[in-house]
Chain A
Amino acid sequence: MQCNVSFLTRKSRGGVTHKDDVISGSSIRIGRSTDNELYLSDFRTSLHHATIHDRQGRYYIEAESGSDIRVNNNIIQSTRLNGGDIIAVGPYDIKIVSADEGKDLDITVELVRQLGDDLEKLKQRSVTTLAATGFSRRRWSWVFFTVIAALFLALPIAAFFSDDVRDMFKDAPITADIAWKTGEFESAHTFFANDCKACHQEAFTTVRDVACVTCHTETHTHADPLFFELSGLNETRCATCHKEHNGRDGLVRRDEGLCGDCHKDLDEKTGTDLKNVQDFGKNHPDFSATMFRYDAAAKKFTSERDALKDKPVETSNLKFPHDTHLDPEGLDSPNGNQVMVCADCHQPEPGGIGMKPINMKDHCAQCHRLEFEEDVPQRVVPHGNLEHILYTLTEYYGNVALKGGYDDIDAPAVVRNRRRPGQRVTPRERKDAFLWAKQKAMSVGEDLFEDRVCATCHDVTKVKDGDSPKWEIAPVRIADTWLPKSRFVHNKHKTMECTDCHDASKSEDSGDVLIPAIDNCQQCHAGTSEVHNKVESTCVDCHGFHIADDFLLGDRKGMPARNERSATAARMEKPSK
């Protein structure tokens, strides 16, 4: 066969040059190797890439094993050649100009796929900087900034101003503005803690007391704002002392400045007769007990405060010598000799703060039996009401008189004589018997009241003489609190003996006030400065802050007054200096 080959080369300016060649052979091998009839030098062609065969005047192309040829873009192993076919061999295109049967084969060969710039391709393939990977610092900066500003700034503000937004997040695990929370809520506040607006009612404004008073309606102010028109006091917010967002236990100011800032020179500031104080250990005034004294003329108790160091005397109208009862030798009692201790009468209240009240039935009657007839010790008069006592006595002696056989030489015969069974009492005898019984009851009563029983403990006065005399017992008021402005918890002092503070064993008179003076407390308790080895004690350890008698927090700052007291009336009640 014979093949006319035209090697085409395109010029950069346009135009084509061609170099013609004539190849002959039994078949025409195509490849990179120089022994090929059609030698194609580019290394992308195989050494032996394909062969064109002449079979009875028809031309066929066949790919060598391991090589690809594309005839008109189809990967084909072998095919018959027709005019116009384009066969791709490596980077070359072989165009069949004419392959007519029995004639010469005319082809053109052109290197159409030039090897590109290796460097450019390498650069294109290689990503050598982080910036080229598509990560953009600028874009991520914007994304982060926007997301955080939206979630933590825009959303909470939107929730504050729009209930719709707030409701959208109502059932979400976190509400829109809870991310602003600065710390745990006090346990009592947790049930509304996810609603920031419950307290933070206005934007860019500190939490106002009105938010607190919504629930805390019964909390008292510190002092009557009408007596003490102090800017420092009346402008103090709840949150000044009660610090929320400080954990489950909450946080209340207890430092020295809490009270001391005002109370260190309160007299100068306000002209009050309250005493100045700053620190328990250094300059706390002496304890003043609230003393109740009986005004016999007015028949009522009045109270006043007296310094304990002056050993004030109380009138409870009860005679009670502590020393006799606490005699270590013991007392004669109906049950024999008995040594008494404090706890026999003074039992703590369930809360452990104070002591249960003392009463006749539980604490005295076991020994102090109200007997009136030596021979009948089981019969006693009732405690508490003189008329009832007289009535009981009259009843008893009336019964005795009618029964007869009572051993009293001054008594009429009907009382003295024993009666036989079935013997009737004449009306005359009955009259005598009752007259005697009444007189007897009166004389026994007088003896009980003035001498034998009642007067042991009480002040008894005979207020009316004659046939139907009258006695009066002065009312008894046993104080349970002498220092009502402070809070003393007995329970916390259990490790002490009662007598460490209450010197009862030497007290001969119930007028003694057995409350110790301040120096007794100062043995263990110091203030907040110069504590040394003592218990650091702040003002609020003993004293309350919300102590104004009549004014509630809701009353101040234009809130509706809870009580009806007018400002004028309040001023009139101002305590005199």
Chain B
Amino acid sequence: MMHQSLFVYSGYRYLKLSMLLIIASVVAYAIHAPVDGPNGGTWLGYTLGGLGAFLILLLMWFGMRKRSYKSSMGKVEGWLSAHVYLGLALIVIATLHAGFQVGWNLHTLAYVLMFIVIISGIFGVYAYLRYPELMTKNRRGNTLELMMIEMSELDRECRETAAKLTDEISKCILESSEKTTIGGSVRQQLSGRPKHCATQSAFNKVSELNKSLPKEMADDGSRLITLLGKKCELVQRACRDVQYKAMMDIWLYFHVPLSFALLAALIAHVVSIFFYW
């Protein structure tokens, strides 16, 4: 189980390391009493700042490491475990480095970016713990591809059945098979349901039209309702599958670009400190 080994990896090695770093930082911060108050410019400030910058680079290197399958530099599993725990420790280290000072400047920008990146990462951990299970339940052994194949099979059956029925009904069926979409825009993917589901509206219309169907068509009519009902359920599950996948991905769209924003801000922060020494 990937999501468990992430936390317990190697006997909580990185949890212990992170706790050690946090405790050491807090103790040093508590003891240290610089004349101008705690800030990034004291010896402890520089130490914590150096440590923080190193951690940020290390955490970002995870993106490289996970793509390099040949690398022998530790297991990806271990890297991820370290990524999570050290990332959390970074909140404490960076805050103490700043000495709780904030302002409208580059330095606080870097801090805020770091914070958003970490928060999005925390959501990522949550998503990886929560959604795979929901996804498995929702798919019932299928994949999205299989669900879509099943949908087009249903479409064909619906059409064959509808061919014997009225024009209005076949129009509905045509719309259902030609206009039903799974997912869509970012918002639609995240919402888990399409804005206007053609299958659902076909189901509603056909149910209505069925009532005025002549007797000899009634069998085919009710068969069509059943088929459409099945398709509706399938569309819903497919949309939810897309939603879960989107939830597992969306945070990365903040986590990754903002971590590069952070990298730029970090470089500018370090350069500015020594430039105006």
Chain A residues in the interface with B (C-beta under 8 A):
32, 41, 43-44, 46-47, 66-67, 117-119, 121-123, 125-131, 133, 135, 137, 140-149, 152-153, 156-157, 160, 177-184, 196, 200, 203-207, 243, 246, 251, 253-255, 258
Contact = CB atoms under 8 A, between A and B. Distances in A.
Interface string B263-277: 111011001101111
Given A127-B189, A196-B276, A183 B170 contact: no
A321 to B, nearest CB: 49
Nearest to B245: A129
B275 A160 contact: yes
B257 A122 contact: no
A43 B175 CA distance: 13
B67 to A, nearest CB: 12
A153 B264 contact: yes
A349 B122 CA distance: 65
A450 B142 CA distance: 127
Interface in B137-195: 144, 148-149, 151-152, 155-156, 159-160, 162-163, 166-167, 170, 173-174, 177-186, 189
19 contacts: A43-B163, A47-B167, A66-B167, A117-B152, A118-B177, A119-B149, A121-B178, A122-B148, A126-B184, A128-B182, A128-B189, A130-B246, A130-B250, A148-B109, A153-B271, A160-B275, A180-B105, A182-B105, A200-B276
Given A130-B250, A144-B258, A153 B183 contact: no
A254 B277 contact: no
Q: Which of A129, A143, A160 has the most CB of B within 10 A?
A: A129
Contacts of A143: 257
Contacts of A152: 106, 109, 264-265, 268, 272
B100 interface: no
B65 interface: no
B253 A140 contact: yes
B184 A127 contact: yes
B254 to A, nearest CB: 9
Interface string B181-213: 111111001000000000000000000000000
Contact of A43 (B109, B159, B246, B276): B159
A247 to B, nearest CB: 10
A44 B171 CA distance: 8
Given A144-B257, A153-B264, A153-B268, A128 B103 contact: no
B36 A243 contact: yes
A111 to B, nearest CB: 14
Majority SS at the chain B contact face:
helix
Given A43-B159, A130-B249, A140 B35 contact: no
Given A126-B183, A128-B183, A246-B37, A119 B265 contact: no
Contacts of A204: 274-275, 277
Contacts of A129: 183, 189, 242, 245-246, 249
Contacts of B101: 183
Contacts of A130: 186, 189, 246, 249-250, 253
A126 B148 contact: yes
Given A118-B152, A182-B105, A137 B256 contact: yes
B252 interface: yes
B43 to A, nearest CB: 14
A66 B246 CA distance: 42
Given A43-B163, A135-B253, A182-B107, A253 B148 contact: no
Nearest to B103: A183
Q: Which of B107, B249, B261 has the most CB of A within 10 A?
A: B261
B54 interface: no
Contacts of B238: 128
Contacts of B167: 46-47, 66-67
Given A122-B152, A126-B184, A128-B144, A181 B105 contact: yes
Contact of A122 (B180, B242, B276): B180
Given A118-B156, A137-B256, A141-B256, A128 B245 contact: yes
A32 B160 CA distance: 12
B126 interface: no
Contacts of B245: 128-129
A146 B261 CA distance: 8
B260 interface: yes
Contacts of B109: 148, 152, 179
B42 to A, nearest CB: 11
Contacts of B37: 246
A92 to B, nearest CB: 15
The 10 A-B pairs of least Cβ separation, nearest first, read A144-B261, A140-B257, A118-B152, A126-B182, A148-B264, A153-B268, A141-B260, A43-B163, A119-B152, A152-B268
Contacts of A200: 275-277
A357 B274 CA distance: 54
A180 B170 contact: no
Nearest to A178: B105
B268 A122 contact: no
A128 to B, nearest CB: 4
A181 B269 CA distance: 10
B257 A137 contact: yes
A148 B245 CA distance: 31
Contacts of A145: 260-261, 263-264
Contacts of B41: 182
Contacts of A118: 152, 155-156, 177
Nearest to A156: B272
Nearest to A205: B277
A180 B109 CA distance: 10
Contacts of A144: 257-258, 260-261, 264
B195 to A, nearest CB: 12
Nearest to A121: B178
A126 B145 CA distance: 11
A417 B47 CA distance: 106
Contacts of A119: 148-149, 151-152
A19 to B, nearest CB: 21
B242 A255 contact: no
A387 to B, nearest CB: 62
B33 to A, nearest CB: 9
A206 B277 contact: yes
Contacts of B148: 119, 122-123, 126
